Amino acid sequence: MKKINFTFVKTLKNKIMAFELPKLNYSYDSLEPHIDSKTMEIHHGKHHAGYTNNLNNAISGSELENHSIEEILKNLNMENSALRNNAGGFYNHNLFWNILSPSGGGKPSGNLLESINKSFESFENFKEEFSKAAATRFGSGWAWLCVHENGNLKVCSTANQDNPLMSGIGCDGFPILGIDVWEHAYYLNYQNRRPDYINAFFNLINWDQVNEIYISNL
Ligand code: MN
């Protein structure tokens, strides 16, 4: 099992082990103007809370209550849509909040920058490939930057709340950066201008944190 350096909180509630909606370490309005406060409030407080509750309902009373979220994703029965959508939604948003910061933006450094340069030739090429994957994902989904063998990095995208840790979805590796391109992530502020939201996302990426996740999953 690969390590991650952010935690998925699980607590005993009503005698069952339940996943918890993570607390953000920044306020809803602190990502403005790139992501507006109302979007953050609904996205975290309603959407992510919904995935968390539905995940807990889906595993309630089953042996999965004792499993980690990574184990659940890796061993998922892909025909179990309640578990697939909500385990993915729970995990994906945990990563998403974790790699954003009011003081984010700029460029990566350290091992991550070296690997980006090796895998994509330059940061600009990576940004272009990642942005294209996010812009061209039809309908709802995510674009990802994932670690592969020897620390190589690849970009891919998934539909709905699928996650690269799930098998057989044509997008694999360990996700270290992800952008939510569901309309609920940007529509209040950007309407149909998804490319503008993708550009704005780059002003919020906490590259030190992405580098930490990268290093801990080599
Ligand atoms: Mn979302």
Strand-pairing partners, residue 154, are: 146
Q: How far apart are CA 133 and CA 128, in angstroms?
A: 9
pLDDT averaged over 10-residue windows placed end to end, the chain, 218 residues: 56 72 95 98 98 94 89 94 97 96 97 98 98 98 96 98 96 97 98 98 97 92
pLDDT for residue 76: 94
User: Which residues surround the ion ligand 1 when the cut-off is CB under 5 Å?
Assistant: 180, 182
CA of 39 to the centre of ligand 1 (A): 10
C-alpha 43 – ligand 1 centre gap (Å): 6
Q: Which phi and psi angles does 34 have, rounded to 5°?
A: -70, -45
Helix 207-216 to helix 110-120 angle, to the nearest 10 degrees?
80
Per-residue pLDDT at 1:
39
**CB neighbourhood size of 124 (10 A):** 10
Cα-to-centroid distance, 158 and ligand 1 (Å): 13
CB 51 within 8 A of CB 82: no
What is the per-residue pLDDT for 18? 87
Residue 151: left if φ>0, alpha if ψ -120 to 50, beta else—which one? left
Q: Give me the pLDDT at residue 16, please.
A: 64
Q: State in Å: Cα 89 to ligand 1 middle.
A: 7
Using DSSP, state whether 3 is helix, strand or coil.
Answer: coil
Please tell me the distance between residue 44's alpha carbon and the centre of ligand 1 in angstroms.
8
- Cα(97) to ligand 1 centroid in Å equals 10
CA of 79 to the centre of ligand 1 (A): 21
